[in-house]
A and B are shown apart, each in its own frame.
Chain A
Amino acid sequence: MPDDNPKTELLDELENGPWPSFVKEVKLAAQTSASAQDLLRQLELSYQEKKGHWKHGGLVGVLGYGGGVIGRYSDAGEQFPNVAHFHTIRVNQPAGWFYTSDALRTICDIWERHGSGLTNMHGSTGDLILLGTRTAELEPTFQELAQAGFDLGGSGSSFRTPSCCVGMARCEWACYDAMKLCYDLTMAYQDEMHRPPFPYKFKLKCAACPNDCVAAIARADLSIIGTWKDEIQVDESAVKTYVSSGLNIQKDVCDLCPTKCMAWDGHKLSIENHECVRCMHCINVMPQALRPGKERGAVIMIGGKAPIMQGALLSSVLIPFVAADELLDTVKELLRRIWDFWDEYGNNRERIGELIQRVGLPAFLDGIGLEPVPEMISAPRDNPYIFYQARKDGEK
């Protein structure tokens, strides 16, 4: 080991306070990893100079794959040779992020042999991220991961590794089996994940209920979010138990309902279900008393993205409801049509949501062969941007 304990006066400040600190974790790794030490030194320098030292870009990979590895080089490689190369490897996570401790130990052992030992589990991509290795170590790492049953995730202009919430494995509100759908889609689109075919990245996330624990609506190009078609299930006696244990139903439930679809007369909770927008607040507050309805499935939404290239977009409704057992086939058919349209008309580095904004929702719907429905807009009769056509003379 080179000299230990890098001096990191500025980084030390980041360890103060009650929240977790990446500095603390990197320091822990630096006790055994020379690249973690240089990482601390380079970052300390960045804080001193107020300047990043990672170069832009980098194109490295493993044979047969066009993604899964993100090249990272330091522009201060002579000063910090152990982070001169600091490539990131994305490993496809299991659906819902369930690992055995054996699997985690295996991955960490592989990574300590071939890389910095630093991991990121899990960031917004959903993948298990291995941080920091040299170009020569990529192929051996990949081979060992494959032997242990792991595959790389997506990067670049590919179908990014699908991710999902824990769904039916742990959650009573799951309206469909998000883990199974996520796994099935991952297996169905191995080509699109590993060999980038698109104008830009395409992300898909499966959330099993409207709580949307994977934040699909804000960052996935295609969001599949569990919902129900019928009425919220109410257990009257459990409602009374909440009241007797001190819950103020008027203040804590009814008044916070965004559409004011609930009323409480002191004895009975009544719900105007057709006004419910599936915000989940009442169910989250009274999980023993209220449950999602029985006719379950998902809403499919399109176009979410974070603010890279153009601004951030939230997803819009594409199909208001698909029954749970029809989801896989529907999503596959939908993806085929969406990708065909995007391939044909998308500009280089244009996300699907940006393309829809550019050509307009009517043209997009026409292109993929979907009929417009009122659920696609936030407030029917109040939104002038689609589908108005003046009557021609003589038309009724």
Chain B
Amino acid sequence: MPVFEINGKSYEVDEDGFLQEPERWNHEVATDFAGTEAITNLTEEHWKVIDYIRNYYLEFGMAPMIRKLCKETGHKLSEIYNLFPSGPAKGACKLAGLPKPAGCV
């Protein structure tokens, strides 16, 4: 299992860098991971997206659909990409401490 190290802390991650210990997640963990997704500073707008995804995941056990994410956070999809340059699935879900979303090729 790969390990991601930052600021003297180490996290177990999968090969794409997703956190493998969901119970360790908190805002500090999200901040630690931000740099891996080309984000220098987490703003209030970032937290709105991250917290929404996190809470949805805790309630339903999966990531929300894109349309729902946009509707509930009030962001257009392009704005989500401005906040998370690697996209909602890879960037935002990773910072929210979700396991890697299952996708299709």
Contacts and interface: CB of A to CB of B under 8 A. Distances in A.
Contacts of B90: 59-61, 66
Contact of B88 (A66, A155, A199, A200): A66
Contacts of A60: 16, 90
Contacts of B87: 61, 65-66, 195-196
Contacts of B38: 63
Interface string A133-176: 00100000000000000000001110000000000000000000
Interface stretch (B24-32, B43-51, B78-86): B78-86
Nearest to A62: B86
A63 B86 CA distance: 5
Contacts of A63: 38, 85-86
Contacts of A231: none
Q: How large is the interface on A (under 10, 10 to 19, 20 to 34, 35 or more residues)?
A: 20 to 34
Nearest to B101: A59
Nearest to B80: A195
Contacts, number: 64
A155 B78 CA distance: 17
Contact of B65 (A65, A73, A348): A348
A156 B67 contact: no
A70 B16 CA distance: 12
A58 interface: yes
Contacts of A199: 65, 67
A330 B104 CA distance: 30
Contacts of A308: 104
Nearest to A125: B105
A197 B81 CA distance: 12
Interface in A81-113: 85, 88
Given A59-B101, A88-B105, A156-B103, 14 more contacts: A58-B16, A60-B90, A61-B90, A63-B86, A64-B81, A66-B86, A70-B105, A155-B105, A195-B78, A195-B81, A197-B66, A197-B77, A199-B67, A308-B104
Interface of A: 57-61, 63-66, 70-71, 73, 85, 88, 135, 155-157, 191, 195-201, 308, 343, 348-349
